[in-house]
Structure 1
Amino acid sequence: MELFQLSRKSMADFLLSLKGEGEHSPKQILQQAWAAAHEKKGISTEAFLETKMPAIFEKLLRADLHKIGFSINEIVALGNQIEFTHLSSTAVQNWVKRDVKDLIGSPHLGKKYSVDQAAMLFIVEDLKATLDFDSIRKILALLFNDLDDRTDDLIEPIPFYSAYAAILEKAQQLNSAGKSMHEQTEQYIKKEALKTLESFQDFTDQQKDIVSNILVTASLTVLSAYYKSLTKKYVTATLFLNG
């Protein structure tokens, strides 16, 4: 059966909807994501029946939005519905207990983590494709301040995740126009990062530089992960067919 996976932008929208924010409900976000993925194939009941609906989606669609929290296993299950993402419970457990403990903090909802904490772990997963944990801690500490008070963040986790996800989607649609593909992509991502900040009127020039540079960093590291995943796919196919 076909897997039902989300782009990072759709996942950001889904996370926002789980907080009761945004313009659409969680179900509407998933419906839109599925419809967009099947636009060329045709949207039909038969097509949906051929799609495997992940148990984590089914569970969250039934959940009370006022009481949503995630165990480590649920964060992993949800994160693995994002394109080119490969989380494991053991790895995430190590992150929250050691590698990014001071960044993520303790579970905000009893023994469960909040939607914002889940988003931060997805951001960490993206960044670790090219950065070490010390670098990840340092750059994210510039964005996210008091773990228990999101109001003092330069930008909150989900809007930040959504911002670089949107930049990525646009960058992946680029057509070459004279410059090398790599140079063009880098310049485009920089331009889109600056454009994203236009809506943040209260930022100082220094804060704009910080957020812009980290948006570019996050976007490029996800592209790196994409190419790494694509490389593994071709290597696996070659060895399987010719081994």
Structure 2
Amino acid sequence: MESFHMTRKEMASLLVALDGRSSQTPLQVLQEAWKKAHRNYPESGQALPALVSTELPPILERMIRGSETKGFSLQEIADLGKLIEYSHLSITAIQNWVKRDFKAYFDSPKMGRKYSLNQAALIFIIDDLKSNLDFISIQKLLKIVFLDESNEKDDLISPMDLYVSYSTMFEELDANNDQLMDTAGHVKESRNQDALTENAIRIVAERHAAKLPHMSNKQKEALRSILFIATISIQTSYFHSLARRYLNAVLFLET
């Protein structure tokens, strides 16, 4: 059966829609994501067979039926994480983060026995950041960005808004949707072009960070950095996934 996949921006849009902060319903977000990945099907008359043969987790089936969803179990978060392209999120990893590595952010579920939409977004953020950072570094960044120095119980930015920001950044930087961030200004005679990529990401990160007021200079700098790192982490996830696919193919075909 075919699998349903979503970009990070589409997953962020789904969380925002579930939170009631979008002009779209969750079903409309899912419909757009599916149509984007199957643009030729409506014209060829294959839309219905393709959708019927698509494997959907129970949490997605409930959304399609219109059931109200304001929180998730850890298993449901893992199921959603598996829909994100180039992500390999597992229930075991999530349980370790919630109970040990990032326990301070998951001291208790926020929606009865369910974890909130923001807690789900935070798990997706941690999964992205771990592509490039160790857990201690991630903990330090999250503390600076999410906790107000004057009141450690107030979020300076919600995990959902952070997830929306850097997932939107990546799609801006990958305008042609080839899974590689676009970089303009290459000089044929120049050997090193790394500064071009760094500058392009930094400019977009600064623009997104500037939209969020009431932050100290230290916090804004941390936000710019986490946006920068998270955007690169999406790119890293693609290369990690590609490497794993080739490794699996070699091992599978080994005689």
TM-score interval (norm. to shorter): 0.7 to 0.9
**Structure 2: stretches of 5+ with no match in the other structure:** 176-181
Q: Give the equivalent residue in structure 2 for 1:51.
A: 54
| 1:189 corresponds to | 201
Cα displacement (A) at 1:139: 0.3
Residue of structure 1 aligned with 2:77, choices 75, 87, 92: 75
Equivalent pair of 2:183/2:197 in contact (CA under 8 Å): no
Greater shift in the superposed pair: 210-219 or 35-44: 35-44
- Give 3-state SS (helix, strand or coil) of 1:208's partner: helix
Secondary structure class of the residue paired with 1:36: helix
Compute the RMSD of aligned alpha carbons: 2.5
CA–CA distance in 1 between the matches of 2:254 and 2:42? 35
CA drift of 1:70 comes to: 1.2
Answering whether residue 107 of structure 2 is matched by residue 105 of structure 1, we say yes
Distance 1:202 1:132, change over 3 A: same
Residue 238 of structure 2: aligned partner: 226
- Aligned amino acid, residue 84 of structure 1: Y
User: Which of 57, 60, 64 is the matching residue for 2:63?
Assistant: 60
Moved more, 7-16 or 108-117: 108-117
Q: Name the residue aligned to 1:17.
A: 17
5+ residue gaps, structure 1, are: none
Higher alpha-carbon Rg: 2
In the alignment, the residues of structure 1 paired with residue 48 and residue 119 of structure 2 have an alpha-carbon distance, to the nearest angstrom, of: 35
* 8 Å CA contact 1:103, 1:137 repeated in 2: no
Pick aligned residue for 2:159 from 133, 142, 157? 157
Match of 2:132 in 1: 130
Q: Which residue is 1:217 aligned to?
A: 229
Residue 178 in structure 1 maps to residue 186 in structure 2:
yes
Structure 1 pair 210–36 and aligned structure 2 pair: CA distance change class (3 A): same
Q: Measured at CA, do residues 100 and 191 of structure 1 come closer, stay the same or move farther in structure 2, by a change above 3 Å?
A: same
CA distance in 2, matches of 1:58, 1:10: 17
Alpha-carbon separation, structure 1, partners of 2:251 and 2:219:
48
1:4 and 1:81 in contact (8 A); partners too: yes
Q: Which moved more, 1:204-213 or 1:21-30?
A: 204-213
Q: Would the alpha carbon gap of residues 169 and 182 (structure 1) be closer, same or farther in structure 2, given more than 3 Å must change?
A: farther
Question: In structure 2, how many angstroms separate the alpha carbons of the residues matched to 1:53 and 1:127?
Answer: 26
Describe the superposition over 1:17-72 as per-residue Cα deviations: whole angstroms up to 9, x where unpaired: 1111111100000011111111245563233234323322112344643x622111
Corresponding pairs, count: 240
Deviation per residue, 1:100-155 (Å, 9 max, x gap) = 00123211122211111111111111111221211111101112128xx9993221
TM-score, scaled relative to structure 1: 0.88
Partner of 2:179: none
Q: Identify the residue that residue 34 of structure 1 maps to in structure 2.
A: 34
Structure 1 pair 48–63 and aligned structure 2 pair: CA distance change class (3 A): closer
Q: Decide whether the 8 Å contact of 1:116 with 1:158 is kept in 2.
A: yes
Give the partner amino acid of 1:58: E
Identity %: 39
Q: What is the identity, as a one-letter code, of the residue corresponding to 2:120?
A: A
Q: Following the alignment from structure 1 to structure 2, what is the Cα–Cα distance between the partners of residues 101 and 182?
A: 37
CA change 1:62–1:182 in 2 (3 A) is farther
Equivalent-residue separation in structure 2 for 1:94 and 1:37 (angstroms):
33
**Bigger share in helix:** 1
Contact 1:76 1:92 in 2 (8 A): yes
TM-score scaled to structure 2, two decimals?
0.84
Name the CA shift for 1:55/1:184 in 2 (closer, same or farther; >3 Å): farther
Q: Secondary structure at the match of 1:30?
A: helix
Cα 1:49/1:177, change in 2 over 3 Å: farther
